[in-house]
């Protein structure tokens, strides 16, 4: 046993070395400097803070509901990862399409889902986005241009690729975006999707949320080479960014989406972050070294952005506090709406297995000021 | 409707596909080697010249990407027709088919209009990975429609209906029928509604309920035996035409369910259970099955023939039930 363990340990050290060197070489990783987008106005910045805070508040409210026994099954959140879904989705236009995952509640809010529908979905209520057909974040509001995720990961990568294929075939300047985690990059479908998108140069933005752990499995047991380096082998750019910096995520997504729209093909954006809660509420995270929590707590994306708004963008501390408090009050109100929503009628359990008609996807809200300034942007008929 | 012409089952599939692609610009094909090569069985021969590489898309060797991309394209309003080079390879795209495509409408209210073409069936020493009849896999996955034409006219008509349907449809085309079966096919648009069985031969003493290659075996056996045998061609396995099944069972009182697919939990089991539950009082004998046994399809001709139902097996099964 001794030599075998020794060999494994030494192999892991080697992997660790390689990972470290990848970190050192990563653009924007160690710089300690923050990204600053010139494509955001004051209202946009308030929105970025608002949506991140809304995600945090809604998930905190959901945890309470879970502890009160109002949420069947388990509970999953994206605490600490709010900057990724908010910053990336904020760069998209109304006719762009998304496949949103379980750490990405912020993207649903940006697209126009309201917290009551999210909370109702978790509670299995009729007022949830799926009306009780599926739980937690397994939803996509088709009227807002989203296709809902499944548990098998990263199954939405091929689906987003297919949406991008339809844009390319029709010659439309539109983009599909999807998310996945570090664990997903070990799965064959990840390769199938990125390869397909690369071969056909499709307008799709792949957002990798590397939060350090796939359930309990650390990066060094998921891959030998940082996934962002694989992008080049599929024939498109990969960018490694600070996933706890909402403007860095926004900028990388904006640039990737613009390139895709112009026919430049896919981009892989790896957002480094840390999952601050367990994989699910049942996971006590004993596998995470405590110092890792300390390090990442100091980089909380919401606190950090609030401070930056004050330090660099002329927001007062009161204003930042007010935005967060308003969001919290709004989420509380939404929780009451969700709690008032009835459970689904059991008589409907076998309805809707098959479609009788086509159900076109609608457009998302696209709150980025850029889109409001472009009334010429074509909207979908649906 | 234009005049009917005599074409092969294979040509009928091509005709149906070509016709729908001409009629509806949202129809496109995705698959391996379907472009310049025209597909392993030449169903899309000449398509790339007529419709271009965008609508006759050669995909990388990645079945989950093919099915998954089709789901995304369908969500965006296209009507993709995926070709599995052999039905067997759907195992490599199974996750996208049964977890993403099949459940989409129930979970999200989002229609996924797509077709997966599945060249299936054995009889030519294709071995364990090029001969399977995987229809039962799909029937355990609510949300998928499943069809299996036996005639040239139905090959065209069911493909047309499958393409126009707002759901994912598994279209099983039997490779043994591609060039063996010829028949009159309407030259113009021709649609056969999903979920409607076809009475292939009328009879009063015994119902052979079957589909795909089994229809031809049953018709040949009935002609050879010169007995009063009815042959019901199911055509659609989901939705299943339960009324037609029960009407035939009640009429003859004896039912043989036949298919080339393996036995356990197959279509035969489902039909037998239906007949037992709903037509028990009308039965004059046990419901029997003629199927492949529960083994992989072997390669060597004598082994393969021992496994796949043959004409003599069909005749024997009919004789036994008629004599019961």
- pLDDT, tens digit (0-9, with 9 covering 90-100), for A204-235: 999 999 999 999 999 999 999 999 999 999 99
Quote the minimal CA–CA distance from A214 to chain B in Å.
20
**Residue B130 known to be catalytic:** yes
| Residues of chain A contacting B28 with CB distance shorter than 8 Å | 169
Q: Under an 8 A CB cutoff, do A150 and B103 touch? A: yes
Domain boundary among B131, B157, B186: B186
Selecting from A168, A200, A354 the residue whose C-beta is nearest the C-beta of B105 gives A354
Residues B23 and B160 in one domain: yes
pLDDT category, A3, cuts 50, 70, 90? very low
Residue of A319, A265, A305 lying closest to A106 (CA atoms): A305
- Local structure of residue B183 (DSSP, 8 states): E
The two beta strands, A176-181 and A97-99, are parallel
Q: What is the mean pLDDT of residues B251-261?
A: 98
Q: Is residue B126 part of a domain?
A: yes
DSSP assignment of A49-98 equals HHHHHHHHHHHHHHHHHHHTT-S-S-----TT-HHHHHHHHTT--TT-EE
pLDDT category, B241, cuts 50, 70, 90? very high
| Residue range A168-216, pLDDT digits in tens | 999 999 999 999 999 999 999 999 999 999 999 999 999 999 999 999 9
**Confidence at residue A17, expressed as pLDDT on a 0 to 100 scale:** 40
A16 C-beta neighbours (distance < 10 Å), count = 13
CATH label of the domain that carries residue B76: 3.40.50.970
Stretch 337-376 of chain A: residues touching chain B, C-beta under 8 Å: 352-361
Domain boundary among B166, B186, B206: B186
Q: Report the distance separating Cα B207 and Cα B46, nearest Å.
A: 42
**Residues A279, A285, A287, A291: is their CA dihedral positive or negative?**
positive
φ/ψ of residue A270, rounded to 5: -95, 120
Residues B66 and B142 in one domain: yes
Q: Is residue B16 part of a domain?
A: yes
Find tokens 């119902």 and name the residue. B207
Can you give the C-alpha Rg of chain B in angstroms? 19
CATH label of the domain that carries residue B203: 3.40.50.920
Residues B224 and B175 in one domain: no
Domain boundaries, position B284: 198-323
Domain boundary among B186, B217, B244: B186
Quote the minimal CA–CA distance from B175 to chain A in Å.
28
Residues B125 and B205 in one domain: no
Q: Is residue B213 part of a domain?
A: yes
Q: What is the mean pLDDT of residues B75-101?
A: 98
| Residues of chain B contacting A176 with CB distance shorter than 8 Å | 72
Does any CB of chain B come closer than 8 Å to the CB of residue A74?
no
**Confidence at residue B150, expressed as pLDDT on a 0 to 100 scale:** 98
When divided into structural domains, chain B yields a total of 2
pLDDT category, B196, cuts 50, 70, 90? very high
Q: Is residue B294 part of a domain?
A: yes
Residues B182 and B212 in one domain: no
Q: Is residue B50 part of a domain?
A: yes
Residue A154 preceded by cis peptide, ω within 30: yes
| Whole-number percent of chain A with pLDDT over 90 | 87
Residues B127 and B257 in one domain: no
Mean pLDDT of chain B: 97
ipTM confidence score: 0.96
Q: Report the distance separating Cα B92 and Cα B95, nearest Å.
A: 8
Residues B39 and B127 in one domain: yes
Q: Is residue B78 part of a domain?
A: yes
Residues B10 and B73 in one domain: yes
pLDDT category, B4, cuts 50, 70, 90? confident
| Residues of chain B contacting A200 with CB distance shorter than 8 Å | 57
**Confidence at residue A246, expressed as pLDDT on a 0 to 100 scale:** 98
Mean pLDDT of chain A: 91
**Confidence at residue A33, expressed as pLDDT on a 0 to 100 scale:** 56
Q: Which domains does chain A have, with CATH numbers?
A: 34-342 (3.40.50.970)
Q: Is residue B191 part of a domain?
A: no
Residues B49 and B170 in one domain: yes
Residues B176 and B252 in one domain: no
DSSP assignment of A163-218 equals HHHHHHHHT----EEEEEETGGGGSHHHHHHHHHHHHTT--EEEEEEE-SEETTEE
Residues B146 and B26 in one domain: yes
Q: H-type helices in B211-310, by residue range?
A: 213-225, 242-252, 267-278, 301-307
| Residue range A50-76, pLDDT digits in tens | 999 999 999 999 999 999 999 999 999
Selecting from B55, B76, B99 the residue whose C-beta is nearest the C-beta of A361 gives B76
Q: Is residue B317 part of a domain?
A: yes
Residues B146 and B98 in one domain: yes
Within 13 Å of residue A157, how many CA atoms lie on the same side as its CB?
A: 28
């Amino acid at each position: 046993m001794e030599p075998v363990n020794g060999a494994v340990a030494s192999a892991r050290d080697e992997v660790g070395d390689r990972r470290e060197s990848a970190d050192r070489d990563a653009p924007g990783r160690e710089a300690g400097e923050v990204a600053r987008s010139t494509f955001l106005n004051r209202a946009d910045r308030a929105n970025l803070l608002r949506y991140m805070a809304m995600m945090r508040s809604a998930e905190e409210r959901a945890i309470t509901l879970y502890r009160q026994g109002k949420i069947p099954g388990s509970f999953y959140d994206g605490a600490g990862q709010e900057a990724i879904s908010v910053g990336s989705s904020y760069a998209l236009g109304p006719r762009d399409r998304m496949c949103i995952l379980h750490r990405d509640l912020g993207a649903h809010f940006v697209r126009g889902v309201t917290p009551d529908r999210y909370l109702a979905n978790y509670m299995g209520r009729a007022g949830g986005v799926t009306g009780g057909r599926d739980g937690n974040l397994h939803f996509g509001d088709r009227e807002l241009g989203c296709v809902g995720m499944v548990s098998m990961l990263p199954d939405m990568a091929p689906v987003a690729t297919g949406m991008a294929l339809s844009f390319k075939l029709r010659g439309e300047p539109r983009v599909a975006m999807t998310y996945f985690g570090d664990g997903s990059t070990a799965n064959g479908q990840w390769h199938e999707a990125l390869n397909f998108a690369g071969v056909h140069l499709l307008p799709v933005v792949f957002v990798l949320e590397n939060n350090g752990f796939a359930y309990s499995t650390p990066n060094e047991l998921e891959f030998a080479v940082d996934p962002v380096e694989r992008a080049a082998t599929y024939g498109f750019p990969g960018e490694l960014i600070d996933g706890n910096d909402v403007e860095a995520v926004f900028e990388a997504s904006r640039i990737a989406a613009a390139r895709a729209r112009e026919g430049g093909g896919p981009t892989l954006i790896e957002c480094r972050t840390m999952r601050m809660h367990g994989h699910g509420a049942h996971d006590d995270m004993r596998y995470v070294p405590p110092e890792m929590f300390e390090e990442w707590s100091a980089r909380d994306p919401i606190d950090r952005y609030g401070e930056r708004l004050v330090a660099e963008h002329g927001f007062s501390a009161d204003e930042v506090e007010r935005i967060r408090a308003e969001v919290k009050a709004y989420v509380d109100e939404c929780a009451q709406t969700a709690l008032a929503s009835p459970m689904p009628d059991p008589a409907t359990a076998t309805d809707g297995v098959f479609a009788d008609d086509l159900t076109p996807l609608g457009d998302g809200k696209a709150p980025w000021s850029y889109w409001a300034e472009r009334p010429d942007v074509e909207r979908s008929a649906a | 409707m234009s005049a009917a012409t005599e074409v092969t089952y294979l040509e009928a599939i091509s005709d149906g596909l070509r016709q729908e692609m001409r009629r509806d610009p949202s129809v496109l094909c995705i698959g391996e080697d379907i472009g310049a090569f025209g597909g392993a069985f030449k169903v899309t021969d000449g398509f790339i010249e007529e419709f271009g590489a965008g609508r006759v898309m050669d995909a990388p060797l990645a079945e989950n990407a093919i099915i998954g991309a089709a789901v995304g394209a369908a969500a965006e309003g296209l009507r993709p027709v995926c070709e599995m080079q052999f039905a067997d390879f759907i195992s490599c795209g199974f996750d996208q088919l049964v977890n993403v495509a099949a459940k989409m409408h129930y979970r999200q209210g989002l229609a996924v209009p797509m077709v997966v073409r599945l060249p299936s069936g054995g009889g030519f020493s294709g071995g364990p990975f090029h001969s399977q009849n995987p229809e039962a896999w799909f029937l355990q996955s609510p949300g998928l429609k499943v069809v299996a034409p036996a005639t040239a006219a139905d090959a065209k008509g069911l493909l047309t209906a499958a393409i126009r349907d707002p759901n994912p449809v598994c279209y099983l085309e039997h490779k043994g029928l591609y060039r063996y079966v010829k028949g009159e096919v309407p030259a113009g648009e021709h649609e056969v509604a999903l979920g409607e069985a076809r009475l292939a031969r009328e009879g009063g003493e015994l119902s052979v309920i079957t589909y795909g290659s089994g229809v031809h075996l049953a018709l040949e056996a009935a002609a050879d035996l010169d007995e009063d045998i009815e042959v019901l061609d199911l055509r659609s396995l989901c939705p299943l035409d339960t009324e037609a099944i029960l009407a035939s069972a009640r009429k003859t009182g004896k039912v043989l369910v036949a298919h080339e697919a393996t036995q356990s939990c197959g279509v035969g089991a489902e039909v037998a259970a239906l007949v037992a539950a709903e037509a028990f009082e009308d039965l004059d004998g046990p419901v029997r099955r003629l199927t492949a046994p529960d083994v992989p399809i072997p390669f060597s001709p004598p082994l393969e023939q021992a496994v796949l139902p043959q004409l003599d097996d069909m005749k024997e099964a009919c004789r036994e039930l008629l004599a019961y």
